């Protein structure tokens, strides 16, 4: 008898099987790796509290990112009494069109070192 444990449970289960049959289909328990799903969100916060949060459906690109900023940054900046925006070096954040949008909208950006 060998103990069998699951990453989702804190208990061990004991199973009986013939020697050499551990990897046969009927002796396996399916698992879901890394939680089985994901969700993409854009959000912001400051010392004064949370700003807006947006659930993103589908693929994200520079245009979608800029649309999210257009609809949410100004309201959040007003709500949070000003801010400096911080983002990582993801290509949609550093594209020329996104840099242009940020500049045209007078968004102060905290610079990140190149990765």
Q: What is the pLDDT tens value at each position of the chain, 115 positions in all?
A: 444 444 555 667 777 888 888 888 888 887 777 766 788 999 988 888 888 999 998 889 999 999 999 999 888 888 888 788 899 989 999 999 999 999 999 888 888 787 6
**92 lies in some domain:** yes
Please provide residue 19's backbone torsions phi and psi, each rounded to the nearest 5 degrees: -55, 135
**106 lies in some domain:** yes
- Rounded CA gap, 53 and 50, in Å? 9
> Considering just the CA atoms, what is the radius of gyration of the chain in Å?
23
Number of domains in the chain: 1
- Report pLDDT for 93: 93
Cβ atoms of 92 and 99 closer than 8 Å: no
Phi-psi region of 35 (alpha: psi -120 to 50; beta: other; left: phi over 0): left
**68 lies in some domain:** yes
Q: Give the predicted TM-score (pTM) of the model.
A: 0.64
100: CATH: 3.30.420.10
- Report pLDDT for 15: 76
**91 lies in some domain:** yes
**51 lies in some domain:** yes
Residue of 16, 43, 11 lying closest to 27 (CA atoms): 16
**9 lies in some domain:** no
Angstrom distances, CA of residue 76 to CA of 15, 31, 38, 41, 88: 55, 40, 25, 15, 19
- What residue numbers bound the domain in which 93 lies? 40-110
């Amino acid at each position: 008898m060998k103990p069998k444990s699951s990453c989702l449970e804190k208990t061990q289960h004991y199973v009986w099987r013939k020697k050499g049959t551990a990897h046969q289909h009927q002796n396996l328990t399916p698992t879901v790796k890394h939680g089985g799903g994901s969700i993409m969100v854009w959000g912001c916060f400051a010392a004064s509290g949370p700003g807006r949060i947006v659930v993103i459906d589908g693929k994200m690109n520079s245009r979608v990112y800029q649309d999210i900023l257009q609809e949410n940054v100004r309201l959040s900046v007003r709500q949070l009494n000003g801010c400096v925006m911080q983002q990582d070096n993801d290509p949609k954040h550093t594209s020329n069109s996104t840099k242009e949008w940020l500049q045209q909208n007078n968004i102060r950006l905290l610079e990140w070192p190149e990765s």
